Amino acid sequence: MIDIIIGGIMYSATLLNCYDGDTCKIHVEEFIPFQEYSLRMKGYDTPEIKGKCEYEIDLAYEAKEEIILYLQDLEEPVFISDKLDKYGRMIADVPGLADHMIDESLARPYDKGARRSWCDDVD
């Protein structure tokens, strides 16, 4: 279970899956009728599963595995914004996650705007 805070109220959520290293889906039992929500993690960007080169795709799967492990061990609450991103995902501020993913070389800092291709990093 993951504790989430939305609008100052704490709820318990179940991590259903992560699509990649910065997008996950949760289930919140108390939210009726809609109980499943996509989250976009704040502060970083990871490679895409449907990447443009093998390097990006491989790194995307590593990032996906890492975020799942991180969230499963998380003891602090996740703060969820009341605003949605351009794809309708809730923005999640997970304590320490952005720094962790960047330190593991699985992500880059991100705060909107253009993103550099991960394939540019291939030697």
Contact 15, 65 (CB under 8 A): no
pLDDT at 96 over 80: yes
Cβ neighbourhood burial of 106 (10 Å; 0-12, 13-18, 19+): buried
- Identify the sign of the CA torsion 37, 42, 47, 48: positive
φ, ψ of residue 78 in degrees (nearest 5) = -100, 130
CATH entry, 2-121, from 3.30.530.20, 3.30.420.280, 3.40.50.150, 2.40.50.90: 2.40.50.90
Looking at residue 51, its pLDDT comes to 92
Average pLDDT of the chain, as a whole number: 93
Indicate the pTM of the whole model.
Answer: 0.91
Q: What is the DSSP string of 88-107?
A: SPEEEE-TTHHHHHHHTTS-
The token pair that represents 121 in the structure block: 């990093």
Residues 10-41: tens digit of each pLDDT? 999 999 999 999 999 999 998 877 889 999 99
Looking at residue 55, its pLDDT comes to 95
